[in-house]
Amino acid sequence: MSKPIYLDNQATTPLDPAVLESMLPYFNNKFGNAASTHHSFGHEAKEAVEKSREIISKELNTSASEIVFTSGATESINLAIKGVSEKLKEKGRHIITQVTEHNAVLDTCSALERRGWEITKLPVKQDGRIDPRMIEDAIRKDTVLVTIMHANNEIGVIQPVREIGDICKRHGVYFLVDASQSFAKISVDAKEINIDLLAFTAHKIYGPKGIGALFIKKKNPPVELELQMDGGGHERGFRSGTLPVALIVGFGKAVELCSRDRDAENKRLKQYRDQLIDDIMTAHTDVILNGSREQRLSNNLNLCFPGIEAETMIMNMKNIACSTGSACTSASLEPSHVIKALGYDTELAHTAIRFSLGRFNNADEIAAAGKMIINAATAAKQKKSNYL
């Protein structure tokens, strides 16, 4: 196939045409500032923002006033972790997380650690999932926050957030969930799961880049955060700054489409994913699937190709867009911290490749991609054997 096959949808997704169409009027005719409510232009913008806020809150079964717009999940995570830590520093300076979190969480925790907070980073099992009992055992009197992602950005493994939420509620500890990879793809009821804070973004669900949100629970109990940005008191005071109305409109539309088509889309992507896994692992029986196959996002497969450097494989698959791990750490030569956390040595971790499928992939592309991946692995093995 002459056109590259895009299998890096966990890095970012293409903008859905319906999302683009919904946004366009707010780049020209409907240009008002949502905070300028003394005239029709501002009212029009505010109504559009609040409509999207309602759509997003409905997806999480929360109140619309509990949704705070940010520039993306990284900002949401920073606001949540730093906001809780600084607000509750008199109660305690202990945070619990896991070793396979995204760097947005790990680096933020490290920044706090340098300022005197204590961070407990719990290991995961070989399937990439954490044992909730370890979290309960790690909670102390001075613990103020547990932060565990819902679905891993590299291996797609889904964590037992319901059990973790129950544990945090029993101990009176705030629970933050990074739902960047799962929001709107997996149905989440924030109230039922006892989530206090939930970070997510639009560009992982066929929405625009540059817009995300943070769910901040308002009652039972209300979450208190130290403000991280001053200047105008927008978004309940949590995030000052003029709202990007067009991006927010696109965010709402993207959520609306995901909610409408979620079951059918997940079923189709799971079929594609399983086809790729089975075809590749049948042709190359030494290939390793990283993380639980059952508790996994429908669109993710992360594979180790023993004895073949991931960079070599990717060079041999020029018509497939994929990655060796998180897009946020792609410039690093270090092996993935997520893969190493599964118990693999550095050499094996360097062979891991993430393929993430999406809405606009079709059966022909998946079949072609499977053949390219199999052929690339075969060619790499043959080349290596020639040198031996």
Active site amino acids: 328
DSSP secondary structure letters along 91-147:
T--EEEEETTS-HHHHHHHHHHHTTT-EEEEE---TTS---HHHHHHH--TTEEEEE
Contact yes or no for 322/355 (Cβ under 8 A): yes
Contact yes or no for 84/197 (Cβ under 8 A): yes
The DSSP secondary-structure symbol of 328 reads G
Q: How many CA atoms lie within 13 A of 335 on its CB side?
A: 18
Looking up tokens 């867009």 gives 321
The DSSP secondary-structure symbol of 66 reads G
The distance of Cα 48 from the centroid of its chain, to the nearest Å, equals 25
Distance CA 269, CA 89 (A): 44
Contact yes or no for 24/18 (Cβ under 8 A): no
User: Which of 194, 119, 183 lies closest to 161, judged by CA?
Assistant: 194
- How would you class 39 by CB atoms within 10 Å of its CB: exposed for 0-12, middle for 13-18, buried for 19 or more? exposed
Contact yes or no for 216/86 (Cβ under 8 A): no
